[in-house]
């Protein structure tokens, strides 16, 4: 138990270290998720456009 | 026009641009007026305390010079772009980069040169000692052509865009920062009694690089914008 | 699928890192130095990605190869992200170490300039309608801005700066202990795989957008 608390505390620098890692982690995930969703949206939009064109 | 030597074409273009500016003198004066006004407002705003003014002077004068140049950049290519003469220029048999250089020199004569003339007045306003004033003048002398040269690449890239002005600032600012740092740094060093030689050498090196390396990308960007 | 391989290797590297972060010994700076494991790889990536973009931009400009253009612009947001992270983590690290969030010194300033260059590239590309022309304009901008890269790298050698000097990218032995060097390198590799992953995702999207009116895209979409 002790060592986990020590780990989180990072010798007193916990706030700095974990905010740095935290921001990095969050930003890097968002930076992958956003283009994935944009891609999915683009595909949907283009596919429905094409289907409409084919029907008309 | 067909058998014009490169030098003659260069001089003709230079003269034409300068003539055009002379005809619209009031428009051309805008950047300089802006420079003088901005730089004059600061002492009014912050009070006349000598030491404070002196310390601020290098930064303020240089930033004002930067902003004034950025405002006037559009003029290098805009009017020619709009009336089609830019296309004519690019179609000529002469290397476009040299013609671009002519336009940049014209721009500098109209923007940078007057800045240099206004600089001693600025130095007086801020109570700069003589040696710092000379450094200011020298740093502007070397630095302002760089601003025109680098700016020309930015304008060439954005002249065809609708909201080109905003993007122009974004593009050109990162490249201007070193000039600003070395230029105002030189004056600051002189104020502290240290020789500004290193900074001025760096500025000269940047100028040499810019002279050689900017006309070609600017010409290439112009061709892109025209297409 | 190359997809899963990338993800896998990525997690592998991350796993290595996870194990090693727990291992390294203490340091004079105390535990706060551990920020180095993201700060330095992020900074390395910010420079690396810019070079990748510049080279691809040049290839696209000279040989007009579409993939080069797509790679160049798809890398931009990732490069901007790493630059941002390098600046932010550096700032967070600087507060306990130097006592300040920011200093206007050579390396920090030139890295900030790099961020603006990335943003400028993205802005310029988005402002031009015809994407083939946009790619070429961006390539020109990238090549002009490439002078900043050696400035960033050598800024700590050329000037008296607050930021510490090079410890890994020198030509003789790195002046850092091996137990700290390994996790650092492993993170660097992990970030490279992340870049690959991000690049694939964005390049697919960009390609789909650029080629949306072609027949192969139509077939692909209608097959669903």
**Best residue of C46, C140, C159 to probe chain B, by most B CBs closer than 10 Å:** C140
Is residue C5 very low, low, confident or very high in pLDDT (cuts 50, 70, 90)?
low
CA distance B74 to C24: 55
pLDDT band at B150 (very low <50, low <70, confident <90, very high): very high
Looking at residue B50, what DSSP letter applies?
H
pLDDT tens sequence across B136-147: 999 999 999 999
- Binary contact (A31, C198; C-beta < 8 A): yes
Instruction: Say yes or no for a CB contact (<8 Å) between A38 and C205.
Output: yes
Check residues B9 and A5 and name the one with the higher pLDDT: B9
Are B and A touching by the rule of 3+ CB pairs within 8 Å? no
Exposed/middle/buried for residue A53 (C-beta within 10 Å: 0-12, 13-18, 19+): exposed
Alpha helices (H) along B126-160: 130-158
Contact between C86 and C46 (Cβ < 8 Å):
yes
Q: In chain C, what residues touch B146 (CB-CB under 8 Å)? A: none
**Distance between CA atoms of B71 and B68, rounded to whole angstroms?**
5
What's residue B23's pLDDT? 76
Distance from CA of A35 to the nearest CA of C (A): 6
Which tens digit of pLDDT belongs to each residue from C101-111?
A: 887 888 888 89
- Is the Cβ–Cβ distance between B189 and C180 less than 8 Å? no
The more confident residue out of B15 and C158 is B15
CB C3, CB C200: distance < 8 Å: yes
What mean pLDDT is predicted for residues B54-65?
A: 88
Tokens standing for C56? 């691809």
pTM attached to this predicted model: 0.84
Is C113 touching B (CB cutoff 8 A)? yes
Residue C26: its pLDDT value, please? 47
Residue B44: predicted pLDDT: 81
Q: Lowest mean pLDDT of B61-65, B67-71, B157-161, C19-23, name the range.
A: C19-23
Q: Over chain C, what is the mean pLDDT?
A: 81
CB A8, CB A18: distance < 8 Å: yes
pLDDT at position C23 is: 43
Residues of C with Cβ-Cβ distance to A19 under 8 angstroms: 92
Q: Do B158 and C124 touch (CB under 8 A)?
A: yes
Residue of B47 and C17 predicted with greater confidence = B47
Q: Which residues have C-beta within 8 Å of that of residue B193, sequence separation ≥ 6?
A: none
Asked if residues C66 and C214 have their Cβ atoms less than 8 Å apart, the reply is no
Least CB-CB distance to A36: which of C30, C42, C201? C201
Nearest CB to C124 within list B150, B157, B174: B157
Which chains share 3+ C-beta pairs under 8 angstroms with B? C
- Mean pLDDT of chain A, nearest integer: 80
Helix, strand, or coil (residue C27)? coil
Record: contact C140-B163, CB cut-off 8 A: no
Q: What is the pLDDT of residues C13-64, one digit of tens each?
A: 665 565 445 445 445 556 667 778 788 889 999 999 999 999 999 999 999 8
Check whether C120 has a pLDDT greater than 80. yes
| Predicted confidence (pLDDT) at residue C89 exceeds the cutoff of 70 | yes
- What is the CB-side half-sphere exposure of residue B219 using CA atoms within 13 A? 19
The number of residues in chain A equals: 56
């Amino acid at each position: 138990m002790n060592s986990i608390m020590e780990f989180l505390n990072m010798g007193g620098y916990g706030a700095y270290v974990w905010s740095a890692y935290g921001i990095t982690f969050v930003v890097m995930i968002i930076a992958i998720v956003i283009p994935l969703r944009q891609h999915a949206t683009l595909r949907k939009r283009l596919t429905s456009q094409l289907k409409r064109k084919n029907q008309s | 026009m067909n058998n014009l030597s490169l030098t003659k074409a260069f001089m003709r273009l230079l003269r034409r641009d300068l003539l055009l500016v002379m005809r619209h003198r009031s428009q051309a004066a805008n950047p300089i007026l802006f420079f003088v006004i901005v730089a004059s407002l600061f002492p009014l705003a912050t009070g006349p305390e000598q030491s404070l003014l002196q310390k601020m002077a290098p930064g303020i004068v240089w930033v004002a010079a930067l902003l004034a140049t950025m405002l006037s950049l559009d003029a290098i290519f805009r009017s020619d772009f709009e009336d089609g003469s830019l296309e004519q220029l690019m179609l000529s048999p002469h290397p476009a980069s040299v013609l671009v250089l002519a336009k940049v020199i014209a721009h500098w004569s109209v923007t940078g040169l007057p800045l240099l003339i206004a600089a001693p007045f600025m130095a007086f306003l801020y109570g700069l000692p003589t040696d710092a004033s000379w450094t200011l003048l020298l740093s502007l002398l070397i630095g302002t052509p760089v601003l025109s040269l680098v700016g020309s690449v930015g304008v060439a890239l954005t002249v065809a865009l609708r909201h080109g002005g905003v993007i122009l600032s974004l593009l050109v600012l990162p490249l201007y920062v070193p000039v600003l740092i070395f230029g105002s740094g030189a004056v600051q060093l002189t104020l502290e009694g240290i020789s500004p030689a290193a900074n001025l050498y760096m500025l000269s090196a940047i100028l040499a690089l810019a002279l050689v390396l900017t006309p070609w990308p600017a010409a290439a960007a112009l061709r892109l914008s025209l297409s | 699928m190359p997809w899963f391989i990338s993800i896998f290797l990525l997690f592998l590297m991350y796993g290595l890192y996870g194990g090693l972060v727990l291992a390294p010994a203490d340091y004079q700076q105390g535990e706060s130095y551990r920020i180095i494991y993201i700060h330095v790889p992020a900074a390395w990536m910010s420079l690396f990605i810019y070079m990748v973009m510049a080279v691809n931009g040049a290839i696209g400009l000279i040989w007009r190869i579409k993939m080069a253009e797509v790679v160049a612009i798809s890398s931009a947001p990732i490069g901007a992200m790493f630059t941002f992270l390098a600046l932010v983590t550096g700032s967070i690290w600087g507060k306990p170490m130097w006592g300040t969030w920011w200093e206007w010194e050579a390396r920090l300033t030139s890295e900030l300039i790099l961020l603006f260059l990335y943003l400028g590239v993205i802005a310029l590309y988005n402002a031009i309608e015809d994407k083939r022309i946009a790619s070429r304009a961006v390539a020109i901008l990238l090549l002009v801005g490439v002078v900043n890269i050696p400035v960033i790298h050598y800024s700590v050698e050329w000037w008296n700066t607050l930021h510490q000097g090079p410890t890994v990218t020198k030509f003789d032995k790195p002046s850092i202990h091996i137990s700290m060097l390994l996790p650092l390198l492993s993170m660097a590799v992990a970030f490279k795989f992340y870049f690959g992953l991000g690049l694939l995702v964005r390049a697919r999207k960009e390609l789909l957008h650029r080629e949306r009116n072609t027949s192969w895209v139509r077939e692909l979409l209608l097959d669903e």
